[in-house]
Structure 1
Amino acid sequence: MPFWAIFVGHIAQNWGFYTLLTELPTYMKNILHFNIASNSFVSALPYLIMWLFSIASGLLADHLRTQGILTTTATRRIFNSIGLYGPMICLVLVGYADCNKDAAIGLLCGAVGLNGAVYSGYMNSHLDLAPNFAGTLMGITNTFATIPGFVAPQVVGLLIDGHETIGRWRIVFWIAGIVYFIGNTFYIIFITGEQQEWNDLDNPQDETKVIHGASPPGQYGSFDPRRSHLNPTSAVDGASSPTTIPEIF
């Protein structure tokens, strides 16, 4: 289940992220009546805050873990909750800010900025579970998590096409908030910071290592003419083979 926790959390995060990334300029222009061309800094401000917050939260998360204040599991749960529950609250409140520009911009900065905490949450869980397969896990979850990149804008388009009202945008923000809530709740219930058994590249059931080039057991019966000169007793049934090394490393 830990892998599925990352899977669900990643998809939920990207739904809200892509909703804001693709539709925020439209909301700011048509509802808040910002001139995007002349207010480029306002448009970029939420993502500037996200960048700064992701760095700060990463440093804090590492400090809490290395000092033994929090376990890896607790760290991932707390920071992922900041990164998803925080934006969830901000997005829902944005829908009720009406045309109050200052309040709306502040909440949008919070929704995008707090999202930076996920880089200390599920984004690191791939490495926690399986360092040997972290790249593969990231490839799998990110492949499916990009689906909201084209589904979310389509949903928003269906909701607001020809109905550019605060009420319709409120529905958009509620949908994103609900997805955030479901995704992070699933994540914090099933995630762990412990390395998984399947990360081990060695087969724990193998008690011996066979020297490369040795014939498989039974190919020549109990007597292998190619190895008899190494150990005369190898011709005797039940004799130990000199080509096996006990698994002691």
Structure 2
Amino acid sequence: MTQQPQWGISLSRFFVIPQRVILAIMGFLAILNAYTMRVCLSQAITVLVIKKNSTDDGSDTAICEPDDLDEGSSNGGNYEWSEELQGLILSSFYIGYIVTHIPGGLLAEKFGGKWTLGLGILSTAVFTMLTPLAIEKGDSDWLIVTRVLMGLGEGTTFPALSVLLAAWVPSNERGKLGALVLGGGQVGTIMGNLLSGVFIEAYGWEFVFYFFGGLGCIWFAIFVFLCYSDPTSHPFIKPSEREYLVKEIGTISRNEDLPPTPWKAILTNLPMFALVAAQIGHDWGFYIMVTDLPKYMADVLQFSIKANGLYSSLPYIMMWIVSVGSGFVADWMIRSGWMSTTNTRKLMTGLAAFGPAVFMVGASYAGCDRVLVVILFTICMGLMGAYYAGMKLSPLDMSPNYAGTLMAITNGIGAITGVITPYLVGVMTPNASLLEWRLVFWVAFGVLCVTAVIYCIWASGEVQPFNNAPIQPRTVDFEAQERKPEAGKSRGLEQSS
């Protein structure tokens, strides 16, 4: 094991919080920053484009009249972008995001998660700050290019964090620290929507991109100083914590000599097919909400930008609460023997699909009743939070050895819906009318229900045969790992039981 420098040991005395917890906090902030930069355009685009005239004639083809008490309602901006073009702009981020998803994991395994994560967030932050310039100089064309480049940077986030957590967090702490890190997604969406609305009204839409991009750069500077790819390379970790992590992670039986990934067995596995189907369904509904809900509230319900930011954030507050609560409930069900792992995952996934499908469509039938619409969308996203205790955990149930590969496949395929859904919404809502949006939600209803049925029939919470290929397991010895961190061999958030 690499000898700690004396200055590092001296500096470690000033840190009260364990370094693995600091890493988890910085991971939480990484995802938070990533989501604020991802979603802020969804708010900004509502004031960038020239709004259509209100046509509230009491029919389903109408757009709601602005609330007389809703001061600050905007007539839109200076850009005459069609609904289809707006959909293309919003979906362009995911084109880049898909491309670097799997390469990000490979880079993190080869070179360590620190720089793969850090440089990914930094590049996203830089292109976020360049967004106003891109719009000014190149209109929609350069905006699309900028968003693709942002996606390329952000695509490394989750794979790199998976490798970092595998190297830093003992198996008995992964539940709570993993939940802390992943919670950054919902909190980032809340902040991105809420603060964007406030900032746009107070300082203009350009400020949003400078603010969130600037936060990303500040995060990078702090992260590079505080965090390292593994405990053995950290110069100012407390010696006691270093020894603890070497002992705990070093005694976990790691299959470092795993045979090549059994692609054929994985891709022809029926529960794997069910898992991919459920991921597609969830992402279809989620990306419609996270990308296009602010547009629905601005174009159909005619909320002001400040009210839009507030009410667009409420569903994600509920989603975060339910995601945490459902995790405790699912653990209790399995631990108490009240339900098997398979049935628990199916129950949570069904709740996270059928419930949102019903309330999403119901919101479109609430018409221009703003209060009821917000309540229904909040319940919709709250129920979707059960996804994190359902199919999100299936890769770990099905194959501890190849969980990283299973996650990469499902997340990568699911992210394709991030390209499809915003563009499809733009095509289906050329007039941004209530009737057009209702059709969008009915399509989402169908996708969510069909994919959930597939999962509930064929999913499994049991270890699959392809996990148990003949291997030579051996215990990781950090003492002999001076050249490379344990993350170099990790396949995501592997867990040993």
The yes-or-no answer on 1:73 pairing with 2:342 is yes
**TM norm structure 2:** 0.40
Alpha-carbon offset, residue 159 of structure 1: 0.9
Asked whether the equivalents of residues 79 and 121 of structure 1 are also in contact (C-alpha less than 8 Å), the reply is yes
Give distance in 2, aligned partners of 1:127 and 1:118.
14
CA distance, structure 2, for counterparts of residue 19 and residue 40 of structure 1: 16
How many percent identity over aligned positions? 38
Tell me how far 1:37 sits from its aligned partner. 2.5
Task: Structure 1: give runs of 5+ residues left out of the alignment.
Answer: 204-249
Does the 8 Å contact 1:80/1:122 carry over to 2? yes
Change (3 A) 1:158 1:39: closer
172, 184, 188: which one aligns with 2:440:
172
1:37-62 deviation digits (Å, cap 9, x = unpaired): 34532221111110111000000000
- Compute the displacement of 1:21 (Å): 0.8
How many aligned residue pairs are there? 202
**1:15-164 map, 5 Å:** 15-161=284-430, 163-164=431-432
Aligned to 1:183: 451
Q: Which has the larger radius of gyration?
A: 1
The SS at the match of 1:37 is helix
- For residues 160 and 100 of structure 1, the distance between their equivalents in structure 2, rounded to whole angstroms, comes to 20
Question: What is the distance in 2 between the residues matched to 1:101 and 1:8?
Answer: 33
Distance (whole Å) between structure 2 residues aligned to residue 75 and residue 8 of structure 1: 18
After superposition, the Cα gap between the structure-2 partners of 1:91 and 1:38, relative to the gap in structure 1 and judged at 3 Å, is closer
Tell me, yes or no, if the aligned pair for 2:294 and 2:308 is still in contact at 8 Å. Answer: no
Amino acid paired to 1:116: G
Q: Secondary structure at the match of 1:146?
A: helix
Secondary structure of 1:131's counterpart equals coil
Cα deviation, residue 84, structure 1: 0.5
* Residues in 2 aligned to 1:38 and 1:158: alpha-carbon distance in whole angstroms: 26
Counterpart amino acid of residue 378 in structure 2? C
Q: CA RMSD in A?
A: 1.1
Worse-superposed segment, 148-157 or 193-202: 193-202
Q: Distance in 2 between matches of 1:82 and 1:199?
A: 28
* TM-score, length of structure 1 as denominator length: 0.79
Contact 1:36 1:43 in 2 (8 A): no
Query: 2:397, 2:463 within 8 Å by CA — same for their partners in 1?
Result: yes
Question: How far apart are residue 85 of structure 1 and its match?
Answer: 0.5
Query: What is the match of residue 197 of structure 1?
Result: 465
Distance, in Å, in 2 between the alignment partners of 1:41 and 1:64 is: 35
